[in-house]
Structure 1
Protein backbone atom coordinates (compact mmCIF):
# COMPACT_ATOMS: atom_id res chain seq x y z
CA UNK A 1 0.00 0.00 0.00
CA UNK A 2 1.22 3.49 -0.83
CA UNK A 3 0.80 6.17 1.83
CA UNK A 4 0.86 9.96 1.71
CA UNK A 5 0.96 12.66 4.38
CA UNK A 6 -0.06 16.28 4.03
CA UNK A 7 2.17 18.19 6.45
CA UNK A 8 2.08 21.53 4.67
CA UNK A 9 -0.13 23.56 7.01
CA UNK A 10 1.29 26.40 9.08
CA UNK A 11 -0.23 25.34 12.40
CA UNK A 12 -1.06 28.99 13.08
CA UNK A 13 -3.56 28.26 15.84
CA UNK A 14 -1.04 26.18 17.75
CA UNK A 15 1.53 28.96 17.43
CA UNK A 16 -0.97 31.54 18.67
CA UNK A 17 -1.62 29.32 21.70
CA UNK A 18 2.06 29.04 22.63
CA UNK A 19 3.17 25.83 20.91
CA UNK A 20 6.59 26.61 19.42
CA UNK A 21 7.20 23.33 17.61
CA UNK A 22 6.00 23.02 14.00
CA UNK A 23 2.85 20.89 13.98
CA UNK A 24 4.42 17.76 12.42
CA UNK A 25 7.02 17.74 15.21
CA UNK A 26 4.60 18.17 18.11
CA UNK A 27 4.96 15.14 20.36
CA UNK A 28 2.07 12.93 21.37
CA UNK A 29 3.08 10.54 24.16
CA UNK A 30 6.73 11.29 23.38
CA UNK A 31 6.46 10.61 19.64
CA UNK A 32 6.23 13.32 17.00
CA UNK A 33 3.05 13.25 14.97
CA UNK A 34 4.95 12.65 11.74
CA UNK A 35 6.96 9.79 13.26
CA UNK A 36 3.81 8.21 14.62
CA UNK A 37 2.23 8.13 11.17
CA UNK A 38 5.36 6.79 9.51
CA UNK A 39 5.66 4.00 12.08
CA UNK A 40 2.02 3.03 11.63
CA UNK A 41 2.36 3.05 7.84
CA UNK A 42 5.39 0.76 8.03
CA UNK A 43 3.47 -1.58 10.31
CA UNK A 44 0.72 -1.73 7.69
CA UNK A 45 2.72 -2.89 4.67
CA UNK A 46 3.88 0.45 3.29
CA UNK A 47 5.57 0.16 -0.09
CA UNK A 48 6.28 3.90 -0.28
CA UNK A 49 5.54 7.04 1.71
CA UNK A 50 5.10 10.51 0.20
CA UNK A 51 5.17 13.70 2.28
CA UNK A 52 4.54 17.35 1.44
CA UNK A 53 5.77 20.19 3.66
CA UNK A 54 5.63 23.91 3.01
CA UNK A 55 8.50 26.20 2.04
CA UNK A 56 8.53 27.99 5.37
CA UNK A 57 8.94 24.91 7.58
CA UNK A 58 12.70 24.53 7.13
CA UNK A 59 13.02 22.54 10.37
CA UNK A 60 10.43 20.04 9.15
CA UNK A 61 12.05 19.92 5.71
CA UNK A 62 15.38 18.96 7.28
CA UNK A 63 13.70 16.44 9.55
CA UNK A 64 11.95 14.53 6.79
CA UNK A 65 14.89 14.78 4.39
CA UNK A 66 17.05 12.99 6.96
CA UNK A 67 14.57 10.13 7.43
CA UNK A 68 15.99 6.68 6.88
CA UNK A 69 13.16 4.22 6.35
CA UNK A 70 12.95 0.74 4.89
CA UNK A 71 10.79 1.98 2.00
CA UNK A 72 11.16 4.83 -0.52
CA UNK A 73 10.26 8.26 0.88
CA UNK A 74 9.17 10.95 -1.58
CA UNK A 75 9.34 14.52 -0.32
CA UNK A 76 7.71 17.57 -1.88
CA UNK A 77 8.55 21.03 -0.54
CA UNK A 78 5.94 23.53 -1.64
CA UNK A 79 3.54 25.99 -0.07
CA UNK A 80 -0.01 25.49 -1.31
CA UNK A 81 -3.33 27.28 -0.73
CA UNK A 82 -5.19 24.19 0.50
CA UNK A 83 -4.89 20.54 1.42
CA UNK A 84 -6.44 19.65 -1.94
CA UNK A 85 -3.60 21.45 -3.72
CA UNK A 86 -1.08 19.70 -1.46
CA UNK A 87 -2.66 16.38 -2.39
CA UNK A 88 -2.32 17.25 -6.07
CA UNK A 89 1.41 17.90 -5.67
CA UNK A 90 1.83 14.35 -4.37
CA UNK A 91 0.00 12.65 -7.23
CA UNK A 92 3.09 11.75 -9.30
CA UNK A 93 4.03 9.31 -6.53
CA UNK A 94 0.55 7.84 -6.01
CA UNK A 95 -0.39 6.61 -9.46
CA UNK A 96 -0.72 2.94 -10.23
CA UNK A 97 -2.87 1.36 -7.55
CA UNK A 98 -4.42 2.11 -4.20
CA UNK A 99 -3.10 4.54 -1.63
CA UNK A 100 -4.05 6.03 1.73
CA UNK A 101 -3.77 9.78 2.31
CA UNK A 102 -4.07 11.65 5.60
CA UNK A 103 -3.08 14.90 7.23
CA UNK A 104 -0.27 14.92 9.77
CA UNK A 105 -2.47 15.89 12.72
CA UNK A 106 -5.08 13.15 12.31
CA UNK A 107 -5.12 11.00 15.46
CA UNK A 108 -6.78 7.58 15.44
CA UNK A 109 -6.52 4.24 17.18
CA UNK A 110 -3.88 2.09 15.54
CA UNK A 111 -5.92 -1.11 15.58
CA UNK A 112 -8.81 0.61 13.83
CA UNK A 113 -6.47 1.99 11.20
CA UNK A 114 -4.99 -1.47 10.57
CA UNK A 115 -8.47 -2.92 10.08
CA UNK A 116 -9.37 -0.04 7.76
CA UNK A 117 -6.27 -0.56 5.60
CA UNK A 118 -6.91 -4.31 5.42
CA UNK A 119 -10.51 -3.70 4.35
CA UNK A 120 -9.43 -1.26 1.64
CA UNK A 121 -6.60 -3.47 0.45
CA UNK A 122 -8.87 -6.45 -0.16
CA UNK A 123 -11.74 -4.45 -1.69
CA UNK A 124 -12.38 -4.99 -5.40
CA UNK A 125 -15.60 -3.10 -6.13
CA UNK A 126 -15.04 0.41 -4.77
CA UNK A 127 -13.04 3.46 -5.86
CA UNK A 128 -12.52 4.88 -2.39
CA UNK A 129 -12.85 3.98 1.26
CA UNK A 130 -13.34 7.06 3.42
CA UNK A 131 -12.81 7.11 7.16
CA UNK A 132 -15.80 8.57 9.01
CA UNK A 133 -16.68 8.98 12.66
CA UNK A 134 -19.71 9.90 14.72
CA UNK A 135 -17.45 11.72 17.19
CA UNK A 136 -17.90 15.38 16.28
CA UNK A 137 -15.31 17.77 17.71
CA UNK A 138 -14.55 19.91 14.69
CA UNK A 139 -15.15 23.60 14.10
CA UNK A 140 -16.35 23.05 10.52
CA UNK A 141 -17.16 19.36 10.11
CA UNK A 142 -17.93 17.83 6.75
CA UNK A 143 -20.99 15.62 7.14
CA UNK A 144 -20.93 12.39 5.17
CA UNK A 145 -24.29 11.18 3.91
CA UNK A 146 -24.55 7.40 3.50
CA UNK A 147 -27.19 4.85 2.59
CA UNK A 148 -27.95 1.68 4.54
CA UNK A 149 -24.92 -0.08 3.04
CA UNK A 150 -22.51 2.72 4.04
CA UNK A 151 -22.18 3.79 0.42
CA UNK A 152 -21.49 7.52 0.35
CA UNK A 153 -24.16 9.49 -1.50
CA UNK A 154 -23.20 13.04 -0.55
CA UNK A 155 -21.16 15.49 1.52
CA UNK A 156 -22.77 18.38 3.37
CA UNK A 157 -21.34 21.44 5.13
CA UNK A 158 -24.20 21.67 7.63
CA UNK A 159 -25.94 19.16 9.83
CA UNK A 160 -29.05 17.61 8.29
CA UNK A 161 -31.88 15.40 9.49
CA UNK A 162 -30.51 11.94 10.15
CA UNK A 163 -26.87 13.07 10.04
CA UNK A 164 -24.54 10.65 11.80
CA UNK A 165 -21.04 10.72 10.38
CA UNK A 166 -18.43 13.34 9.58
CA UNK A 167 -15.28 12.96 7.52
CA UNK A 168 -12.31 11.66 9.49
CA UNK A 169 -9.63 13.01 7.18
CA UNK A 170 -8.29 9.60 6.14
CA UNK A 171 -8.79 8.82 2.47
CA UNK A 172 -8.28 5.46 0.78
CA UNK A 173 -8.25 6.23 -2.94
CA UNK A 174 -7.54 4.71 -6.33
CA UNK A 175 -6.37 5.88 -9.75
CA UNK A 176 -9.92 6.81 -10.74
CA UNK A 177 -9.96 9.34 -7.92
CA UNK A 178 -6.72 10.86 -9.20
CA UNK A 179 -8.34 11.45 -12.59
CA UNK A 180 -11.13 13.42 -10.87
CA UNK A 181 -8.54 15.38 -8.87
CA UNK A 182 -6.73 16.42 -12.03
CA UNK A 183 -9.96 17.52 -13.66
CA UNK A 184 -11.03 19.36 -10.52
CA UNK A 185 -7.77 21.31 -10.43
CA UNK A 186 -8.16 22.26 -14.09
CA UNK A 187 -11.70 23.47 -13.39
CA UNK A 188 -10.61 25.64 -10.46
CA UNK A 189 -12.20 23.55 -7.72
CA UNK A 190 -10.73 24.27 -4.29
CA UNK A 191 -10.90 22.49 -0.91
CA UNK A 192 -10.86 18.76 -0.25
CA UNK A 193 -14.57 18.69 0.55
CA UNK A 194 -15.47 20.05 -2.87
CA UNK A 195 -13.19 17.51 -4.50
CA UNK A 196 -14.96 14.75 -2.57
CA UNK A 197 -18.28 16.03 -3.87
CA UNK A 198 -16.88 15.75 -7.37
CA UNK A 199 -16.08 12.09 -6.76
CA UNK A 200 -19.76 11.42 -6.03
CA UNK A 201 -20.97 13.59 -8.89
CA UNK A 202 -18.76 11.66 -11.32
CA UNK A 203 -20.24 8.34 -10.30
CA UNK A 204 -17.32 6.87 -8.37
CA UNK A 205 -18.24 4.32 -5.73
CA UNK A 206 -17.27 5.62 -2.31
CA UNK A 207 -17.69 3.61 0.85
CA UNK A 208 -17.66 4.92 4.41
CA UNK A 209 -15.61 3.13 7.06
CA UNK A 210 -16.59 4.09 10.63
CA UNK A 211 -13.89 4.78 13.23
CA UNK A 212 -14.92 5.11 16.87
CA UNK A 213 -13.17 8.46 17.15
CA UNK A 214 -10.73 10.63 15.19
CA UNK A 215 -9.17 13.78 16.65
CA UNK A 216 -7.51 16.61 14.74
CA UNK A 217 -4.79 18.44 16.67
CA UNK A 218 -5.68 22.03 15.83
CA UNK A 219 -5.41 23.64 19.28
CA UNK A 220 -3.02 23.35 22.22
CA UNK A 221 -5.72 21.63 24.25
CA UNK A 222 -6.02 18.93 21.60
CA UNK A 223 -2.51 17.66 22.36
CA UNK A 224 -3.36 16.27 25.78
CA UNK A 225 -6.74 15.08 24.52
CA UNK A 226 -5.06 13.17 21.69
CA UNK A 227 -2.38 11.76 23.98
CA UNK A 228 -4.99 10.22 26.26
CA UNK A 229 -7.01 8.92 23.35
CA UNK A 230 -4.22 7.12 21.44
CA UNK A 231 -2.12 5.96 24.40
CA UNK A 232 -1.28 2.31 23.84
Structure 2
Protein backbone atom coordinates (compact mmCIF):
# COMPACT_ATOMS: atom_id res chain seq x y z
CA UNK A 1 0.00 0.00 0.00
CA UNK A 2 1.08 3.53 -0.70
CA UNK A 3 0.84 6.52 1.62
CA UNK A 4 0.74 10.21 0.76
CA UNK A 5 1.31 13.40 2.71
CA UNK A 6 0.10 16.86 1.72
CA UNK A 7 2.66 19.22 3.23
CA UNK A 8 2.31 22.19 0.90
CA UNK A 9 0.41 24.59 3.15
CA UNK A 10 1.97 27.85 4.29
CA UNK A 11 1.33 27.43 8.02
CA UNK A 12 0.41 31.11 8.19
CA UNK A 13 -1.52 30.84 11.47
CA UNK A 14 1.41 29.18 13.20
CA UNK A 15 3.79 31.81 11.81
CA UNK A 16 1.52 34.61 13.05
CA UNK A 17 1.72 33.08 16.53
CA UNK A 18 5.50 32.99 16.62
CA UNK A 19 6.27 29.51 15.25
CA UNK A 20 9.16 30.07 12.85
CA UNK A 21 9.55 26.54 11.52
CA UNK A 22 7.67 25.43 8.40
CA UNK A 23 4.74 23.29 9.52
CA UNK A 24 6.25 19.94 8.40
CA UNK A 25 9.26 20.70 10.62
CA UNK A 26 7.25 21.70 13.68
CA UNK A 27 8.06 19.29 16.50
CA UNK A 28 5.46 17.44 18.56
CA UNK A 29 6.92 15.35 21.34
CA UNK A 30 10.41 16.06 20.02
CA UNK A 31 9.63 14.69 16.53
CA UNK A 32 9.04 16.58 13.31
CA UNK A 33 5.44 16.26 12.12
CA UNK A 34 6.56 14.89 8.76
CA UNK A 35 8.98 12.41 10.35
CA UNK A 36 6.27 11.13 12.65
CA UNK A 37 3.94 10.36 9.77
CA UNK A 38 6.70 8.74 7.73
CA UNK A 39 7.71 6.58 10.69
CA UNK A 40 4.13 5.50 11.33
CA UNK A 41 3.58 4.74 7.64
CA UNK A 42 6.73 2.63 7.53
CA UNK A 43 5.49 0.74 10.58
CA UNK A 44 2.39 -0.06 8.52
CA UNK A 45 4.20 -1.58 5.55
CA UNK A 46 4.53 1.41 3.24
CA UNK A 47 5.52 0.38 -0.28
CA UNK A 48 6.02 4.04 -1.20
CA UNK A 49 5.47 7.36 0.53
CA UNK A 50 4.59 10.30 -1.70
CA UNK A 51 4.94 13.86 -0.35
CA UNK A 52 4.25 17.30 -1.75
CA UNK A 53 5.79 20.35 -0.07
CA UNK A 54 5.73 23.99 -1.13
CA UNK A 55 8.55 26.02 -2.67
CA UNK A 56 8.34 28.91 -0.20
CA UNK A 57 11.31 27.59 1.77
CA UNK A 58 14.08 25.14 0.96
CA UNK A 59 14.13 23.67 4.47
CA UNK A 60 11.46 21.02 3.95
CA UNK A 61 12.76 19.93 0.55
CA UNK A 62 16.28 19.70 1.99
CA UNK A 63 14.99 17.52 4.81
CA UNK A 64 13.23 15.24 2.34
CA UNK A 65 16.43 14.94 0.28
CA UNK A 66 18.25 13.87 3.44
CA UNK A 67 15.55 11.29 4.19
CA UNK A 68 15.90 9.88 0.68
CA UNK A 69 19.67 9.71 1.05
CA UNK A 70 20.14 8.70 4.67
CA UNK A 71 16.78 7.27 5.69
CA UNK A 72 14.92 8.05 8.90
CA UNK A 73 17.37 7.33 11.70
CA UNK A 74 19.13 4.96 9.31
CA UNK A 75 15.94 3.24 8.16
CA UNK A 76 15.63 3.35 4.35
CA UNK A 77 12.49 5.19 3.19
CA UNK A 78 10.79 4.55 -0.18
CA UNK A 79 10.18 8.28 -0.57
CA UNK A 80 9.07 10.27 -3.60
CA UNK A 81 8.39 13.99 -3.29
CA UNK A 82 7.33 17.02 -5.31
CA UNK A 83 8.15 20.65 -4.55
CA UNK A 84 5.33 22.91 -5.72
CA UNK A 85 3.16 25.58 -4.15
CA UNK A 86 -0.54 25.05 -4.78
CA UNK A 87 -3.69 27.06 -4.00
CA UNK A 88 -5.42 24.27 -2.05
CA UNK A 89 -5.07 20.78 -0.62
CA UNK A 90 -7.10 19.40 -3.51
CA UNK A 91 -4.65 20.92 -5.97
CA UNK A 92 -1.80 19.36 -3.99
CA UNK A 93 -3.56 16.01 -4.12
CA UNK A 94 -3.96 16.39 -7.86
CA UNK A 95 -0.23 17.09 -8.35
CA UNK A 96 0.76 13.79 -6.67
CA UNK A 97 -2.21 11.76 -7.93
CA UNK A 98 -0.31 10.23 -10.92
CA UNK A 99 1.88 8.41 -8.39
CA UNK A 100 -1.19 7.00 -6.60
CA UNK A 101 -3.16 5.74 -9.57
CA UNK A 102 -1.98 2.12 -9.48
CA UNK A 103 -2.54 1.12 -5.85
CA UNK A 104 -4.76 1.66 -2.81
CA UNK A 105 -3.39 4.49 -0.72
CA UNK A 106 -3.86 6.41 2.51
CA UNK A 107 -3.64 10.19 2.24
CA UNK A 108 -3.50 12.81 4.97
CA UNK A 109 -2.10 16.26 5.70
CA UNK A 110 1.20 16.69 7.47
CA UNK A 111 -0.30 18.07 10.69
CA UNK A 112 -2.69 15.20 11.41
CA UNK A 113 -2.22 13.74 14.88
CA UNK A 114 -3.71 10.38 15.91
CA UNK A 115 -2.84 7.44 18.15
CA UNK A 116 -0.52 5.05 16.37
CA UNK A 117 -2.30 1.89 17.47
CA UNK A 118 -5.60 3.26 16.22
CA UNK A 119 -4.03 4.08 12.88
CA UNK A 120 -2.68 0.54 12.56
CA UNK A 121 -6.15 -0.85 13.23
CA UNK A 122 -7.56 1.54 10.65
CA UNK A 123 -5.08 0.36 8.01
CA UNK A 124 -5.91 -3.27 8.78
CA UNK A 125 -9.62 -2.54 8.38
CA UNK A 126 -8.99 -0.72 5.09
CA UNK A 127 -6.93 -3.62 3.74
CA UNK A 128 -9.58 -6.13 4.76
CA UNK A 129 -12.46 -4.19 3.25
CA UNK A 130 -10.56 -3.83 -0.01
CA UNK A 131 -9.80 -7.55 -0.05
CA UNK A 132 -13.47 -8.32 0.55
CA UNK A 133 -14.51 -5.96 -2.25
CA UNK A 134 -16.79 -4.06 0.10
CA UNK A 135 -15.53 -0.51 -0.31
CA UNK A 136 -13.96 2.14 -2.50
CA UNK A 137 -12.68 3.99 0.53
CA UNK A 138 -12.44 4.01 4.30
CA UNK A 139 -12.46 7.48 5.82
CA UNK A 140 -11.08 8.24 9.25
CA UNK A 141 -13.66 9.99 11.43
CA UNK A 142 -13.92 11.05 15.06
CA UNK A 143 -16.60 12.18 17.50
CA UNK A 144 -14.10 14.62 19.03
CA UNK A 145 -14.88 18.06 17.63
CA UNK A 146 -12.15 20.68 17.98
CA UNK A 147 -12.14 22.14 14.50
CA UNK A 148 -12.96 25.64 13.34
CA UNK A 149 -14.95 24.43 10.32
CA UNK A 150 -15.65 20.71 10.79
CA UNK A 151 -17.00 18.52 8.03
CA UNK A 152 -19.75 16.37 9.49
CA UNK A 153 -20.05 12.78 8.33
CA UNK A 154 -23.47 11.15 8.19
CA UNK A 155 -23.47 7.35 8.38
CA UNK A 156 -25.95 4.52 8.69
CA UNK A 157 -25.79 1.89 11.46
CA UNK A 158 -23.15 -0.09 9.55
CA UNK A 159 -20.92 3.02 9.23
CA UNK A 160 -21.54 3.29 5.51
CA UNK A 161 -21.13 6.98 4.70
CA UNK A 162 -24.30 8.64 3.42
CA UNK A 163 -23.31 12.29 3.26
CA UNK A 164 -20.75 14.96 4.08
CA UNK A 165 -22.32 18.05 5.63
CA UNK A 166 -21.15 21.53 6.58
CA UNK A 167 -23.79 21.66 9.32
CA UNK A 168 -25.54 18.97 11.34
CA UNK A 169 -27.81 19.51 14.33
CA UNK A 170 -26.89 16.32 16.19
CA UNK A 171 -23.50 15.31 14.85
CA UNK A 172 -22.03 11.89 15.50
CA UNK A 173 -18.82 12.15 13.54
CA UNK A 174 -16.65 14.65 11.75
CA UNK A 175 -14.00 13.97 9.14
CA UNK A 176 -10.56 13.30 10.55
CA UNK A 177 -8.84 14.12 7.28
CA UNK A 178 -7.53 10.57 6.86
CA UNK A 179 -8.49 9.14 3.49
CA UNK A 180 -8.01 5.49 2.58
CA UNK A 181 -8.94 5.17 -1.09
CA UNK A 182 -8.68 2.87 -4.06
CA UNK A 183 -7.24 4.21 -7.27
CA UNK A 184 -10.77 4.76 -8.67
CA UNK A 185 -10.87 7.93 -6.54
CA UNK A 186 -8.41 9.59 -8.93
CA UNK A 187 -11.12 9.69 -11.60
CA UNK A 188 -13.37 11.57 -9.19
CA UNK A 189 -10.50 13.93 -8.30
CA UNK A 190 -9.90 14.69 -11.97
CA UNK A 191 -13.58 15.51 -12.39
CA UNK A 192 -13.44 17.92 -9.46
CA UNK A 193 -10.46 19.70 -10.97
CA UNK A 194 -12.16 19.99 -14.35
CA UNK A 195 -15.16 21.63 -12.64
CA UNK A 196 -12.89 24.11 -10.87
CA UNK A 197 -13.54 22.77 -7.37
CA UNK A 198 -10.82 23.23 -4.80
CA UNK A 199 -11.91 21.95 -1.37
CA UNK A 200 -11.28 18.44 -0.11
CA UNK A 201 -14.80 18.33 1.33
CA UNK A 202 -16.19 18.79 -2.17
CA UNK A 203 -13.98 15.93 -3.35
CA UNK A 204 -15.46 13.72 -0.61
CA UNK A 205 -18.97 14.67 -1.66
CA UNK A 206 -18.09 13.96 -5.28
CA UNK A 207 -16.96 10.45 -4.34
CA UNK A 208 -20.50 9.74 -3.18
CA UNK A 209 -22.05 11.45 -6.20
CA UNK A 210 -19.93 9.21 -8.43
CA UNK A 211 -21.30 6.15 -6.66
CA UNK A 212 -18.19 5.26 -4.66
CA UNK A 213 -18.92 3.11 -1.62
CA UNK A 214 -17.34 4.72 1.44
CA UNK A 215 -17.26 3.55 5.03
CA UNK A 216 -16.21 5.32 8.20
CA UNK A 217 -13.66 4.13 10.74
CA UNK A 218 -13.76 5.89 14.10
CA UNK A 219 -10.67 7.26 15.84
CA UNK A 220 -10.96 8.41 19.45
CA UNK A 221 -9.42 11.76 18.51
CA UNK A 222 -7.78 13.33 15.49
CA UNK A 223 -6.06 16.67 16.01
CA UNK A 224 -4.64 19.23 13.58
CA UNK A 225 -1.76 21.57 14.32
CA UNK A 226 -3.16 24.92 13.19
CA UNK A 227 -2.26 27.08 16.20
CA UNK A 228 0.64 27.25 18.62
CA UNK A 229 -1.42 25.89 21.51
CA UNK A 230 -2.37 22.86 19.38
CA UNK A 231 1.20 21.61 19.88
CA UNK A 232 0.67 21.28 23.63
CA UNK A 233 -2.75 19.71 23.08
CA UNK A 234 -1.23 17.13 20.75
CA UNK A 235 1.61 16.31 23.12
CA UNK A 236 -0.81 15.84 26.01
CA UNK A 237 -3.07 13.66 23.86
CA UNK A 238 -0.23 11.42 22.70
CA UNK A 239 1.01 11.15 26.28
CA UNK A 240 -2.39 9.81 27.29
CA UNK A 241 -3.36 12.83 29.37
Is the counterpart of residue 151 in structure 1 residue 157 in structure 2?
no
Pairwise CA distance, 1:57? 2.4
Q: 1:90: Cα distance to partner? A: 0.8
Alignment gaps of 5+ in structure 1 = none
Aligned residue in 2 for 1:53: 53
TM-score by length of 2: 0.93
1:63-84 deviation per Cα after TM superposition (whole angstroms, max 9, x unaligned): 1121134342111111111101
2-structure distance, mates of 1:88, 1:107? 23
Aligned to 1:7: 7
- TM-score, normalised relative to structure 1: 0.97
Say which SS state the counterpart of residue 184 (structure 2) adopts: helix
Matches within 5 A, 1:189-228: 189-228=197-236
CA distance, structure 2, for counterparts of residue 204 and residue 46 of structure 1: 24
* RMSD (Å), alpha carbons: 1.0
How many matched pairs?
231
- Over residues 6-64 of structure 1, what are the superposed CA-to-partner deviations in whole Å (9 max), with x where a residue is unaligned? 00001000000011111111111111100000000000000000000011021111111
- SS of the aligned residue for 2:80 comes to strand
2:126 corresponds to 1:120? yes
Aligned to 1:21: 21
Q: Deviations over 1:140-179 (max 9, x none)?
A: 000011111101111111123x321000010001111111
Structure 1's consecutive aligned runs of 4 or more residues displaced over 2 angstroms after TM superposition are 68-72
1:176 aligns with 2:184: yes
Paired with 2:12 and 2:167, the residues of 1 have a C-alpha distance of 25
